[in-house]
């Protein structure tokens, strides 16, 4: 480089003089950066938490609300289920699902009344405290908590009835005497007196007068009166909807000057919410006021590790002698981290930064091979747990259809039976859900009362020859409609949104075509499908149902006359209606789980074997992955966070995380080498030419 | 009318049109020279396109009954095309690899071992069969859509360009508005409104696809209407409609043909994207690719479905583009001048 003018030459010389120290500074900064790069780790959590029992899990999307009157999805329940304890709970290990007392001292017995109603008496434990919260200052200066009383449960039940809360579970709770009347009275009172609406909810409810069937007798006794038998109500007292809620919290967190109550739960559970950053993380810390911590001597069933489970639990390591009877919770903190993408989340699980995970569909075959963990995963000590969800997928027939439904009488029945024999559900499960599921024999999935593993539905045996014979009996030999001389035409109404879904429906259509029925897939969008259902212009469809609570009633009600889509807009999409079935259902619905109930359910099952409004396909199975350090975890099927029963081996976790996340440094060194090889001669040339 | 009768009639009409075109081209020196040039330059591509057309035509000729049908199945009562008949009785129960003699999972022996050149898909259907059937769907989408889009483009382009003034403003406003809506969004909205199905997809693609050609046509018409022979015709008192039909449109034909060919490949590709969104046409290559999406993550990998559909799609589009480019070089006067 040759300097042009005098001045630029001088400047150049000065620059060179300054550049010498600068150069060293630059090199040392680069060195520091490089050093920092090599020393850094990919651990997303602070070092200080490394030896604490913190359970890490991913949060896909922050729930819209944590208000126990409204929250009704899996993500919300993962938080509310830990923060709010309920009067009753589910046994951690037993299947079928069994209720145990939670905040209540015992599971109440139904007490039938002469007027046809039923009464349940709950007695709350004494000395229960709410988690510490500034809201309790409303009840007296400087207070941070108070005792849980029966009125808190009554208050929450009134909130469920309040139309402003928009609770999704008004229907089941309407079985409580006076529930609807309270709802109407509240609306009427608000209309009559606009002043009322500005008061805090508990004062409004007090003015209206409460629900007739919810009787608070003293501070710890609660009487729930139902207008008729509804044994399933107990399951609703095991859900957060009926948890005690302090009126102070609802009045305090009004969403105007402070947080909304939706974002600030105050409960009685084993954990309490201490940080709620929807974009980053949610933290639950062990609740110091929880009855299990305050009164370990009670050995309450919901506060100690259970001593018995279902057969096989002991072998599976779910009943270790040193843990049985120990006070809960073991894990001191639950940390949810916001994760938007499934594959990075799963990679963090593989690196050991999440303790448990589902299986992403994309990599299912890499993780599970021949129904077992792949050797690579097993080597890491990852465990695979399977649980069958209380869900059913089925092929439904529109029973109002002229050809296939009730109007066709015996002919339609034979046709439905033929269809039932023509679909090979085992092949279906193999092809479309990677074998993750079991063939459904009846509407009732495993884990529920009345599911009998040895029962095989004779109508669900895959037997194309039998199907052809039934077709002939129905008057369609070889599937030929004698009127037209052509194969019988049936529409399969599809609302598939993906090609993969369409393939599933194509499979069913092909199976029916193989026995001689001309099944055409009528593919529309979901909205158009709903339109067809509205007008009754549909014949066959594919549908599924997931249990709200583990009672067979929640499945059989889908086939009752009252729930018919065409009549009442209910979820009975088949429009199946059979007085005999309804009569059996009415008997089954109100019985406790005993031999007689089982006998009634068998009768219903038999009726469905004959009638076939549903052609049951499968109950899906969920596969979960856990690391070896997460101890005595049993998957639960329904969405209850059973975190308090689980434990972590923190030392093992730290060790394995280190081993799995060895920084690979050679690329950095190689890169640095290349950089030096390129930059140093360049700098030297630059300065040489300057001079 | 039954679908297959309609399809057979369409084949007859297409063949008649093809014959008429041949006669026309033979009589017309300009066109026959141009096509001779095309044949000289892109012999192979023209043959490939011809092969696809042949397969599509064979798949369009269908009739009921005849040999090869499995008696117990309803196939005997359905119209099956020539292609279907070639593959009769080759159904398996699920995946099998190309030319394998046992099932891909479970290892059970196949019904027709060693006959599946490209294997079978998840439902046991022969992949080669499905791939060949895809040709008809692709040509149908490309053809029908261009037949919707080109008249629209000509109508609007010529009216705007020839008559000008307020009419031009109005047409141009419509075109600009359509062009400013993201194409894919408009497509999805249209299909949601019209419903699923081949004709609906073609209509949606046609309605969204005419703007580009229309602009070119308008520009060209603006130029043409000032030319001497148009002025002369006008001075002689020839009616406007006659001028447009006699002098303007014939001089736009080279543009139309070039755009037709180039648009064609774009449309087939658009359908593949729609299939990805779950609103494509049944039986298309796009749908095959979409269905094969999960197959790549299977262990061991199921690659033949995706590969077959992608190769078929690629082959057609490449050949059509080669032909289109050559046609542009030959027909467009500007490039012609540069050449010679």
Asked whether residue A34 is domain-assigned, the answer is no
Output b/e per residue, B14-27; b: 16+ Cβ within 10 A: eeeeeeeeeeebee
Q: What is the distance between the terminal CA atoms of chain B, rounded to a whole angstrom?
A: 54
Q: What is the pLDDT of residue A28?
A: 64
Closest in A498, A506, A515 to B123, CB measured: A506
Residues of B in contact with A372 (CB under 8 A): none
Quote the CA–CA distance of B285 and B306 in Å, as a whole number. Answer: 9
Q: Which residue has the tokens 């009672």?
A: A551
Which CATH number fits the domain that encloses residue A469?
3.10.105.10
A353: pLDDT confidence band, cut at 50, 70 and 90?
very high
Contact A362 B297 (CB under 8 A): yes
Quick one: which of A106, A685, A590, A658 has its CA closest to A352?
Answer: A658
- Least confident segment among A338-342, A556-560, A650-654: A338-342
Contact B299 A525 (CB under 8 A): no
Q: A150 near A242, Cβ under 8 Å?
A: no
Q: A629 and A618 share a domain? A: no
Q: H/E/C letters for each residue in A60-83?
A: CCCCCCCCCCCCCCHHHHHHHHHH
Partner residue opposite B77 with nearest CB, options A427, A486, A498: A486
Q: How far is B156 from chain A (nearest CA, A)?
A: 33
Enumerate the residues of chain A whose CB falls inside 8 A of the CB of residue B122. 431, 503
Q: What is the dihedral of CA A386, A389, A393, A399, to 10 degrees?
A: 150
Which residues does chain A have within 8 Å of residue B280's beta carbon, measured at their own beta carbons? 499
Q: By CA distance, what is B302's nearest residue in A?
A: A365
Of A6-15, A221-230, A261-270, A457-466, minimum mean pLDDT range: A6-15
Q: Please, what sign has the CA dihedral across residues A288, A291, A296, A301?
A: negative
Q: Chain B closest CA to A72's CA: distance in Å? A: 30
Residue-by-residue DSSP string for B128-194 = HHHHHHHHHHHHHHHHHHHHHHHHHHHHHHHHHHHH-HHHHHHHHHHHHHHHHS-HHHHHHHHHHHH
**CA nearest A360 in B: which residue?**
B297
pLDDT tens, B6-18?
889 999 999 999 9
What DSSP assignment string belongs to A364-403? Answer: HHHHEETTEE-HHHHHTT-EEEEEE-SEEEEEEE-TT-TT
**Mean pLDDT, rounded, for A61-70:** 89
Looking at the predicted structure, is the pLDDT value of residue A168 above 90? no
Q: Of A568, A468, A558, A556, which is closest to residue A513 (Cα–Cα)?
A: A468
CB contact under 8 A, B94 and A523: no
The CA-based angle A532-A538-A540, given to 5 degrees, is: 135
A156: its two tokens: 């929450």
CATH code of the domain containing A65: 3.40.190.10
Query: Considering only CB atoms, which chain A residues are within 8 Å of B275?
Result: 499
Contact A364 B72 (CB under 8 A): no
Q: Do A465 and A379 have their domain in common?
A: no
pLDDT surpassing 70 at residue A116: yes
Same domain, yes or no: A441 and A557: yes
Alpha-carbon gap, residue A524 to A339, rounded angstroms: 34
Q: What is the mean pLDDT of residues A415-438?
A: 90
Residue A386: half-sphere exposure toward Cβ, Cα within 13 Å: 13
Check residue A6 and give its pLDDT: 41
Closest CB to B287: pick one of A499, A515, A516. A499
Any idea which of A24-28, A152-156, A365-369 has the lowest mean pLDDT?
Answer: A24-28
User: Hey, which of A6-10, A288-292, A372-376 has the most confident mean pLDDT?
Assistant: A288-292
Q: Is residue A18 part of a domain?
A: no
In a domain, A430, yes or no: yes
Which one of A499, A501, A514, A517 makes the best mutation probe of the B interface by having the most chain B beta carbons within 10 Å? Answer: A499
Q: Which residue is closest to B288 within chain A, CA to CA?
A: A499
Would you state the pLDDT for residue A532?
87
User: CA-to-CA distance for B329 and B323, rounded, in angstroms?
Assistant: 10
For residue A3, is it within any domain? no
Do residues A628 and A551 share a domain? no
Beta-carbon separation of B122 and A528 below 8 A:
no
Do A464 and A383 fall into the same domain? no
CA-CA distance, A232 to A230, in Å (whole number)?
Answer: 5
The two three-digit tokens of residue A54, written as one number: 């913190």
Q: Is A244 within 8 Å of A156 (Cβ atoms)? A: yes
pLDDT band at A500 (very low <50, low <70, confident <90, very high): confident
pLDDT at residue number A10: 43
**Chain A contact present for B275, CB below 8 A:** yes
Higher pLDDT residue, A20 or A506? A506
Mean pLDDT of A446-465: 90
* CB–CB contacts below 8 A, A to B: 68
Q: Quick one: pLDDT at residue A17?
A: 46
Residues 116-175 of B with CB under 8 A from A: 122-123
Q: Is the pLDDT score of A612 beyond 90? A: yes
Residue A213 shares a structural domain with residue A155: yes
- The whole-number mean pLDDT for each consecutive block of 10 residues of chain B, a chain of 340 residues, reads 84 94 90 90 94 94 70 72 84 86 82 87 91 93 90 92 91 90 87 84 89 90 91 91 90 86 87 83 88 76 91 94 88 57
pLDDT tier, A413 (very low <50, low <70, confident <90, very high otherwise): very high
| Cβ atoms A391, A544 nearer than 8 A | yes
Query: Which pLDDT value is given to residue A40?
Result: 65
Confidence band (pLDDT; 50, 70, 90) for A35?
A: low
Shortest Cα distance, chain B CAs vs residue A364, angstroms: 8
pLDDT of A581 > 90? The answer is yes
Strand partners for A388: A621
Q: Does some domain include residue A44? A: no
- The answer on pLDDT for A34 being more than 70 is no
Tokens at B184, concatenated: 């894919």
Domain boundary at A596, A622, A648, which? A622
CB A378 within 8 A of CB A366: no
Measure A366 CA to nearest chain B CA, in Å.
7
- What's chain B's average pLDDT? 87
Which residues of A are less than 8 Å from B73 in CB distance?
513-514, 516
pLDDT given at position A371: 77
Chain A interface mutation, best of B278, B282, B301, highest count of A Cβ atoms under 10 Å:
B278
pLDDT score, position A411: 93
Q: Calculate Rg over the CA atoms of chain B.
A: 24
Nearest CA in chain A to B122: A431
Tokens, residue A413: 């029945």
Looking at the fold, whether A76 and A133 belong to one and the same domain comes out as yes
The shortest C-alpha distance from B282 to chain A (Å) reads: 9
Cβ–Cβ gap B282/A506 under 8 Å: no
Please answer yes or no on whether B291 and A500 come within 8 Å at the CB atom. Answer: yes
Helices (H), A219-330: 233-236, 247-252, 291-294
How many structural domains are present in chain A?
Answer: 4
Domains of chain B: 3-86 (no CATH), 95-125 (no CATH), 138-339 (1.10.3720.10)
Query: What is the per-residue pLDDT for B194?
Result: 86
* Residues A627, A600 share a domain: no
CB contact under 8 A, A523 and B73: no
Q: Which two tokens stand for residue A380?
A: 């890491």
Same domain for A551 and A461: yes
pLDDT at B260: 85
User: Does a structural domain hold residue A550?
Assistant: yes
* Contact B200/A at CB under 8 A: no
How close is the nearest chain B Cα to the Cα of A507, in Å? Answer: 7
B171 min Cα distance to partner chain A (Å): 33
Residue A37 lies in a domain: no
Q: Is B72 on the interface with A (CB under 8 A)?
A: yes
Q: Are A513 and A519 in contact (CB under 8 A)?
A: yes
> How many other CB atoms are there within 10 angstroms of residue A507's CB atom?
19
- Residue A13 contacts by C-beta under 8 Å, 6 or more apart in sequence? none
Query: Which of A430, A498, A524 has the CB atom closest to B195's CB atom?
Result: A524
ipTM, interface predicted TM-score of the complex: 0.82
- Residues of A within an 8 Å Cβ radius of B: 361-366, 369, 427, 430-431, 468, 478-479, 486-487, 496-500, 502-503, 506-507, 510, 513-518, 523-525, 528
The dihedral sign for the CA sequence B203, B204, B209, B214 = positive
Q: Phi, psi at residue A86, to the nearest 5°?
A: -120, 165
Q: Which of A431, A513, A516 is the closest to B122 by Cβ?
A: A431
**Are residues A220 and A298 both part of a single domain?**
yes
pTM (2 d.p.): 0.75
Residues of B in contact with A369 (CB under 8 A): 299
Q: What token pair was written down for B253?
A: 């034909």
On chain A, the residues whose CB falls within 8 A of the CB of B299 are: 365-366, 369
Mean pLDDT of chain A: 87
pLDDT surpassing 80 at residue A645: yes
Tell whether the model's pLDDT for residue A409 goes beyond 60: yes
A366 & A300 share domain? no
Q: Tell me whether residues A500 and B105 touch, CB distance under 8 A.
A: no
**Structural domain boundaries enclosing A527:** 391-622
Closest CB to A516 among B74, B287, B299: B74
Select from A503, A516, A523 the Cβ nearest to the Cβ of B122. Answer: A503
Question: How many separate helices (H) and strands (E) can be counted in chain A?
Answer: 23, 24
Does B336 reach chain A within 8 Å, measured CB to CB? Answer: no
Own/partner long-range contacts of A110-116 (Cβ < 8 Å, ≥24 apart) = A110/A229, A110/A231, A110/A592, A112/A229, A113/A225, A116/A227, A116/A228
Domain assignment present for A296: yes
Q: Return the pLDDT at A38.
A: 53
Question: Residue A549's closest CA among A66, A90, A223?
Answer: A90
Q: How many residues does chain B have?
A: 340
CA A331/CA A287 separation, integer angstroms? 11
Domain match, A132 and A121 both = yes
Structure tokens at A421: 């024999």
On chain B, the residues whose CB falls within 8 A of the CB of A524 are: 195-196
* B74 CB within 8 Å of a chain A CB: yes
């Amino acid at each position: 480089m040759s300097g042009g003018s005098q001045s630029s030459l001088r400047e150049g010389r000065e620059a060179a003089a300054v550049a010498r120290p600068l150069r060293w500074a630059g090199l040392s900064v680069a060195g520091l950066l490089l050093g920092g790069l090599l020393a850094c780790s990919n651990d997303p959590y602070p070092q200080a938490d490394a030896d604490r029992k913190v359970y890490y899990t991913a949060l896909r999307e922050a729930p819209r609300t944590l208000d126990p009157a409204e929250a009704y999805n899996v993500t919300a329940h993962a938080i509310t289920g830990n923060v709010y304890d309920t009067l009753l709970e589910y046994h951690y290990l037993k299947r079928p699902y069994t209720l145990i007392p939670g905040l209540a001292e015992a599971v109440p017995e139904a007490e039938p009344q002469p007027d046809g109603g039923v009464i349940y008496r709950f007695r709350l434990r004494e000395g229960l405290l709410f988690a510490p919260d500034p809201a309790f200052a409303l009840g007296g200066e400087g207070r941070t908590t108070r005792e849980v009383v029966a009125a808190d449960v009554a208050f929450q039940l009134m909130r469920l009835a309040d139309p402003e809360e928009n609770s999704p579970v008004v229907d089941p709770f309407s079985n409580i005497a006076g529930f609807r009347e309270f709802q109407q009275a509240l609306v009427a009172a608000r209309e009559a007196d606009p002043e009322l609406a500005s008061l805090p909810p508990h004062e409004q409810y007090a003015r209206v007068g409460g629900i007739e069937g919810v009787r608070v007798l003293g501070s710890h006794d609660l009487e729930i009166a139902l207008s008729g038998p509804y044994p399933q109500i107990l399951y609703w007292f095991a859900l957060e909807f009926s948890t005690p809620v302090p009126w102070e919290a609802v009045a305090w967190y009004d969403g105007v000057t402070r947080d909304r109550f939706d974002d600030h739960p105050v409960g009685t559970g084993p954990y309490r919410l201490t940080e709620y950053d929807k974009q980053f993380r949610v933290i639950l810390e062990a609740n110091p006021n929880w009855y299990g911590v305050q009164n370990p001597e009670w050995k309450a069933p919901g506060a100690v590790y259970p001593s018995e489970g279902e057969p096989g639990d002991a072998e599976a390591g779910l009943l270790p002698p040193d843990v049985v009877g120990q006070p809960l919770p073991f894990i001191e903190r639950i940390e949810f981290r916001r994760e938007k993408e499934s594959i990075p989340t799963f990679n963090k699980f593989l690196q050991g930064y999440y303790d448990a995970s589902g299986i992403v569909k994309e990599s299912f075959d890499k993780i599970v091979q021949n129904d077992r963990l792949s050797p690579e995963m097993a080597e890491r000590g990852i465990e695979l747990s399977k649980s069958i969800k209380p869900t059913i997928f089925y092929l439904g027939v529109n029973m109002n259809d002229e050809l296939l439904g009730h109007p066709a009488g015996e002919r339609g029945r034979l046709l439905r039976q033929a269809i039932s024999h023509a679909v090979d559900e085992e092949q279906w499960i193999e092809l479309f859900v990677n074998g993750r599921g079991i063939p459904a024999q009846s509407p009732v999935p495993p884990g529920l009362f009345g599911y009998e593993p040895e029962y095989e539905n004779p109508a669900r045996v895959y037997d194309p020859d039998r199907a052809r014979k039934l077709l002939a009996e129905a008057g369609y030999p070889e599937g030929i409609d004698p009127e037209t001389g052509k194969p019988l035409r049936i529409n399969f109404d599809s609302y598939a949104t993906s090609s993969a879904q369409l393939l599933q429906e194509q499979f069913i259509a092909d199976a029916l075509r193989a026995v001689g029925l001309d099944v055409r897939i009528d593919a529309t969008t979901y909205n158009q499908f709903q339109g067809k259902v509205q007008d009754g212009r549909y014949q066959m469809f594919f549908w599924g149902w997931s249990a709200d609570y583990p009672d067979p009633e929640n499945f059989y009600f889908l086939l009752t006359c009252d729930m018919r889509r065409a009549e009442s807009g209910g979820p009975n999409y088949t429009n199946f209606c059979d007085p005999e079935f309804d009569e059996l259902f009415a008997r089954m619905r109100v019985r406790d789980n005993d031999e007689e109930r089982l006998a009634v359910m068998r009768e219903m099952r038999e009726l469905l074997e004959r009638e076939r409004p549903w052609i049951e396909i499968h109950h899906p199975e969920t596969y979960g992955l856990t690391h070896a350090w997460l101890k005595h975890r049993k998957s639960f099927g329904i969405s209850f966070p059973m975190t308090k029963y689980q434990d972590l081996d923190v030392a093992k976790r730290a060790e394995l995380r280190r081993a799995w996340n060895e920084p690979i440094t050679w690329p950095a060194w190689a890169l640095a080498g290349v950089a030096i090889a390129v930059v140093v001669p360049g700098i030297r040339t630059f300065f040489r030419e300057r001079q | 009318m039954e679908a297959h009768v309609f399809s057979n009639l369409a084949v007859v009409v297409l063949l008649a049109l093809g014959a008429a075109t041949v006669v026309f081209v033979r009589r017309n020196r300009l066109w026959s020279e141009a096509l001779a040039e095309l044949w000289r330059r892109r012999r192979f591509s023209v043959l490939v396109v011809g092969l696809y057309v042949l397969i599509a035509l064979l798949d369009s000729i269908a009739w009921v009954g005849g040999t090869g049908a499995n008696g117990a199945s309803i196939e005997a009562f359905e119209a099956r095309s020539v292609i279907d008949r070639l593959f009769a009785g080759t159904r398996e129960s699920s995946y099998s690899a190309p030319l394998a003699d046992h099932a891909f999972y479970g290892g059970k022996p196949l019904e027709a071992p060693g006959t599946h050149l490209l294997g079978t898909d998840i439902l046991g259907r022969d992949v080669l069969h499905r791939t060949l059937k895809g040709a008809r769907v692709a040509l149908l989408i490309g053809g029908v859509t261009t037949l919707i889009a080109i008249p629209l483009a000509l109508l609007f382009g010529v009216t705007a360009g020839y008559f000008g003034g307020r009419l031009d403003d109005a047409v141009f406003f419509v075109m600009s508005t359509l062009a400013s809506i993201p194409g894919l969004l408009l497509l999805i909205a249209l299909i949601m409104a019209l419903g699923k199905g081949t004709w609906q997809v073609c209509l949606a693609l046609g309605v969204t696809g005419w703007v580009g050609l229309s602009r070119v046509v308008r520009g060209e018409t603006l130029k043409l209407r000032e030319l001497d022979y148009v002025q002369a015709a006008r001075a002689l008192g020839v009616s406007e409609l006659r001028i447009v039909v006699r002098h303007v449109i014939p001089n736009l034909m080279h543009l139309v043909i070039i755009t037709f060919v180039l648009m064609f490949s774009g449309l087939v590709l658009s359908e593949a994207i729609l299939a990805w969104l779950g609103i494509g046409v049944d039986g298309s290559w796009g749908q095959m690719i979409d269905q094969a999406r999960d197959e790549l993550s299977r262990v061991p990998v199921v690659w033949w479905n995706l590969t077959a559909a992608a190769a078929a799609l690629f082959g057609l589009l490449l050949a059509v583009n080669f032909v289109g480019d050559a046609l542009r070089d030959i027909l467009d006067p500007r490039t012609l001048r540069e050449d010679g």
